[in-house]
Structure 1
Amino acid sequence: MSTDLGVADVLARCGAEGRAALIGYLPVGFPDVEGSIRAMVAMVECGVDIVEVGLPYSDPLMDGPVIQNAVEVALQGGAHVVDGFRATRAVRDAGAPALVMSYWNLILRRGVDRYAAELAAAGGAGLITPDLIPDEADEWIAASEREGLDRVFLVAPSSTPERLSRVTDSCRGFVYAASTMGVTGERTSVGSAARDLVDRTKALTDLPVCVGLGVSNGDQAAELAQYADGVIVGTAFVRTLSGEGELGARLDALRELTTELARGVREGAR
């Protein structure tokens, strides 16, 4: 991994600019592999600072219906773990770090050491593991240390002080704070638990704390950006790419949304 495209460096740069980072998620393979890569690059070109490259999984229990539907399309189209490496390279070449987001079983199937080496070789910044807790992550922690990869674990409003401490001690890059309980999806308002969770987490770590699960427009991004180090957007991007019309028109809509969200994280400057 190139240090000038590291997650920590990008978050530090955004902080120096007095703003939160915009972190965008899309699943590789939706609407097809090439289309997903074009979409990720378009997001970078329009203001996404860090891209989450989602690996499609057959049982995405933590995702809402919009992402589940997109993942099903990707799987039916034959999207594979190796396509995640292609997307990672494309994002890096576009000028942003790429964090792969994957359910842990996919990594186990590939082999933890093998996957870590392949991700590093593809220029990946690291891995977000929503269903892996640090207590069960010894193999991944060792592999990520060896390959110089970031590892991002999740905290939630229900996390105890002990759990928060364990997670923050195990993360590298940033801590992923789930601002609303339950599966992912767009919210009509930003959950009131988000600020409290960020405050509780920041009391335990110097790592950036980035908030996800619910942001769908620039106003919400601006609200979160007042106290979060990064604003994570997934469902809104996927829904936009799921719209009507040719891919080119949907990519244009994706660019418009990205521009709005990028403006939002700047308007919420602290």
Structure 2
Amino acid sequence: MTAVNRISRCFDELAARREKGLIAYICAGDPDLDTTVRLVEAIAAAGADLVELGIPFSDPVADGPSIQRAAARALAGGVKVAQIIAAAARIRRRTDVPLIFMTYYNPVLQYGLEEFVRDAASAGVDGLIVPDLPLEEAGALLAPAGGAGLALIPLVAPTTTPERLQAISAAARGFVYCVSVTGVTGARQEIHTDLAKFTGRVRAYTGLPLAVGFGISGPAAAARVAPCCDAVVVGSAIVDRVAAAADSDPVPAAAGLAGEIKSALVNL
């Protein structure tokens, strides 16, 4: 099965069950790559429908304090992109959950665009999210990603104009990531964006599934957001669970939160 088909199949199955999806984010290498492999497997078993695997970068401009700290811990531990790709291959041997690399353009560029796409696809990765890569500059990555069957998943914001929504949607693969707020990632008590209006605008330009992320702090927040989209993305809250278990095994706590959130989405 190709990568894009794995993402499409996941959303098709969710739609058939009339169920909202959970996309869980973890930072690769925090606290170490062996734990990352176990985290992805456990989170998927607990109910996450797709997993974003963050490749740490020293200047994560789209990320708030929780993910910044996780990236700093991973980098301090010496994790490298090639090691993360190898960990993704280990994950793929353990689970069929769709895997998406969330990274910044610099690590991809330093690795080599074609080499990164080739190695990620060979490892069983299904998609890429590159938040600091605007559509106008994405051609050099779009072409090899498409050739390898990797979905280059775009982000759109409440401030994205209709013209850009149309252009971004035309190039999108897999799903469209709708950023719930103007700002950085991080769990929030409230999201003040009119999400129904926002996602309604996006749906006018694409038939792809829509995922809403940034600011979803737990089961209750996920349930509030879910009616406006096809999946919710939860990152900082899970990363915080991992960090809180620094002196013990973080896998049960992170998987427990993923299970709680998925239960809230199933029982809408």
Tell me the TM-score normalized by structure 1: 0.94
Give the partner amino acid of 1:263. Answer: S
Counterpart for residue 143 of structure 1? 144
Change (3 A) 1:247 1:227: same
Per the TM alignment, residue 191 of structure 1 is displaced from its structure 2 partner at its CA by 3.3
Partner-residue secondary structure (3-state), 1:6: helix
Give the partner amino acid of 2:41. Answer: V
The answer to whether the Cα contact below 8 Å between 1:5 and 1:97 also exists between their aligned partners in 2 is: no
The answer to whether the Cα contact below 8 Å between 1:26 and 1:238 also exists between their aligned partners in 2 is: yes
CA–CA distance in 2 between the matches of 1:59 and 1:3? 28
Q: How does 1:1-270 map to 2 (within 5 A)?
A: 2=2, 6-92=6-92, 93-244=94-245, 246-248=247-249, 250-268=250-268
C-alpha distance after superposition, 1:127-178 (max 9, x if no partner): 0111111111111111012111111010000100011111111110000000
Per the TM alignment, residue 12 of structure 1 is displaced from its structure 2 partner at its CA by 1.2
The answer to whether the Cα contact below 8 Å between 2:118 and 2:148 also exists between their aligned partners in 1 is: yes
Count residues with an aligned counterpart: 267
Give the partner amino acid of 2:147. Answer: R
Change (3 A) 1:4 1:165: closer
User: Which shows bigger deviation, 251-260 or 238-247?
Assistant: 238-247
Partner-residue secondary structure (3-state), 1:56: coil
Per the TM alignment, residue 13 of structure 1 is displaced from its structure 2 partner at its CA by 0.7
CA–CA distance in 1 between the matches of 2:165 and 2:257? 33
Tell me the TM-score normalized by structure 2: 0.95
C-alpha distance after superposition, 1:5-63 (max 9, x if no partner): 71111011111111111001111100111112211111111001101010010111111
Give the partner amino acid of 1:162. Answer: E
The answer to whether the Cα contact below 8 Å between 1:37 and 1:90 also exists between their aligned partners in 2 is: yes
Gaps of 5+ in 1: none
Gaps of 5+ in 2: none
Per the TM alignment, residue 217 of structure 1 is displaced from its structure 2 partner at its CA by 1.2
CA–CA distance in 2 between the matches of 1:24 and 1:112? 25
CA–CA distance in 2 between the matches of 1:148 and 1:244? 37
Per the TM alignment, residue 237 of structure 1 is displaced from its structure 2 partner at its CA by 0.5
Per the TM alignment, residue 245 of structure 1 is displaced from its structure 2 partner at its CA by 5.5
Partner-residue secondary structure (3-state), 1:127: strand
The answer to whether the Cα contact below 8 Å between 2:3 and 2:125 also exists between their aligned partners in 1 is: no
The answer to whether the Cα contact below 8 Å between 1:198 and 1:209 also exists between their aligned partners in 2 is: yes
CA–CA distance in 2 between the matches of 1:35 and 1:5? 28
The answer to whether the Cα contact below 8 Å between 2:26 and 2:52 also exists between their aligned partners in 1 is: yes
Partner-residue secondary structure (3-state), 1:214: coil
CA–CA distance in 1 between the matches of 2:216 and 2:16? 23
Per the TM alignment, residue 195 of structure 1 is displaced from its structure 2 partner at its CA by 2.1
The answer to whether the Cα contact below 8 Å between 1:185 and 1:213 also exists between their aligned partners in 2 is: yes
Partner-residue secondary structure (3-state), 1:177: strand
Change (3 A) 1:54 1:245: closer
The answer to whether the Cα contact below 8 Å between 1:19 and 1:225 also exists between their aligned partners in 2 is: no
Root mean square deviation, CA, Å? 1.5
